[in-house]
Amino acid sequence: MRVLAVASQKGGSGKTTLSGHIAVQAQLHGEGPVAIMDMDPQGSLADWWNEREASLPVFAQTSVSRLNNDLEQLRSQGVKLVVIDTPPAITVAIQSVIAVAELIVVPTRPSPHDLRAAGATVDLVERAGKPLVFVLNAATPRAKITFEAAIALSQHGTVAPVTIHHRTDFASSMIDGRTVMELDPKGKSAGEIRELWSYLADRLEKNFRRTVFAARPNVGQPVQAARPVAATFGRRINAAEGA
């Protein structure tokens, strides 16, 4: 099971929208079962999932104290990918998520405020010794500042070769629990998300291979069959439960 975290110290960077879209695209691409977790106290990702008609990806409610146990339960039930949305602040929650994630995706709008705020997230990820990928998000097409932001971010880490541009269909799709791939599969926004997931999936696969070769697994050990994802991880939640 792979664990991908979407983190940014700057509010309004598009973490929740990107988290939902990454999870759905991975599921559509056959990488599932995929689960999402919402560690942001605002619960925006949980609210979006509750509006979805589709049952996948599943939603796994968790907390800082239960995070490791819940991830192990998902792993034992056959979940292949977990996407975790994090709070827009440096908290114990975001530190806990970074500690268990294989790859940290840092969405960053191409603006001076966002670029300055990215430093706090980078410091946290570097202290944890985890790989990160910047994703330029909500960019204006053909704007010079987008190119300049990519150059600035590349001094501090890898910048994804796919830029997510600002379009109203992202906001429209999130209203009723959908994504741009489900709203307009042939649209430009859907194409960008597909390209982004293809890149992130490749990064996760390379990380996995390095881990496997370094771990020297015991050959010949019996492999326990995965159990189906429990219904309790796919239940709808209300505001009272999420509080």
CATH number for position 68: 3.40.50.300
pLDDT at 88: 86
Q: Residue 128 falls within a domain, yes or no?
A: yes
Distance CA 151, CA 126 (A): 19
pLDDT at 225: 45
pLDDT at 237: 44
| This prediction's pTM | 0.87
Q: Residue 113 falls within a domain, yes or no?
A: yes
pLDDT-based confidence at residue 218 (cuts at 50, 70, 90) = low
Q: Residue 123 falls within a domain, yes or no?
A: yes
Q: Residue 233 falls within a domain, yes or no?
A: no
Q: Residue 78 falls within a domain, yes or no?
A: yes
Check residue 233 and report its DSSP letter: G
Give all strands of the β-sheet with 58-59 in edge-to-edge order.
58-59, 34-38, 81-85, 2-6, 103-108, 132-136, 158-159
pLDDT in tens, 11-41: 889 999 999 999 999 999 999 999 999 999 8
pLDDT in tens, 27-84: 999 999 999 999 998 999 999 999 999 999 999 999 999 999 999 999 999 999 999 9
Q: Residue 226 falls within a domain, yes or no?
A: no
Length of the chain: 243
Q: Domain range for residue 90? A: 2-210
Q: How many CA atoms lie within 13 A of 10 on its CB side?
A: 19
* Count of structural domains within the chain: 1
Range from 46-60, 111-125, 200-214, 219-233 carrying the lowest mean pLDDT: 219-233
Whether 106 shows a pLDDT value over 60: the answer reads: yes
Q: Residue 219 falls within a domain, yes or no?
A: no
pLDDT-based confidence at residue 213 (cuts at 50, 70, 90) = low
Q: Residue 218 falls within a domain, yes or no?
A: no
**Residue entry with tokens 């881990």:** 211
